[in-house]
Amino acid sequence: MIYVSDIAKEKVLKLMEESAYAADAGYFLRVSVVGGGCSGLSYKMDFDNQPKSGDQVFEDNGIKVVTDLKSFLYLVNTTLEFSEGLNGKGFYFNNPNASRTCACGESFSV
């Protein structure tokens, strides 16, 4: 399962509305893990409306989250969060599978 916090839900919905994706119920949040970043792996998020073979589909807190199977292995039990704090504003992942993360929180390793 991939979870979505309350504040992340609000921000995702706001972004969907601003981008006109909210009008089309076929759009969802695609989350993936790609190589790169200072710790080796980085998170990637996009809005998408094209499911792919092998996708893992979840719904939490009213947000449909889709990920490919390979990424899901890194994202099991991860929570999408959002921060407006002094250390930066934006989405971040609270990933219990990460053994190390970089200072900016955009990359990790397992």
Question: Is residue 109 pLDDT above 70, yes or no?
Answer: no
Question: Is residue 18 pLDDT above 70, yes or no?
Answer: yes
Residue 110: the pLDDT is: 62
How many other C-beta atoms lie within 10 A of the C-beta of residue 40?
13
Reported as a single tens digit per residue, the pLDDT across 23-38 is 888 999 999 998 876 6
Mean local confidence (pLDDT), 53-68: 96
In whole angstroms, how far apart are CA 89 and each of 1, 69, 80, 108?
Answer: 25, 29, 14, 18
Residue 102: the pLDDT is: 58
| Band of residue 98 on the pLDDT scale cut at 50, 70, 90 | confident
Mean local confidence (pLDDT), 63-67: 97
36 phi-psi bin (left φ>0, alpha ψ -120 to 50, beta other):
left
Mean local confidence (pLDDT), 14-26: 90
What pTM was computed for the model?
A: 0.84
For 32, the token pair is 């993936």
Beta bridge partners of 82: 91
User: Can you list the domains of the chain with their CATH numbers?
Assistant: 3-109 (2.60.300.12)
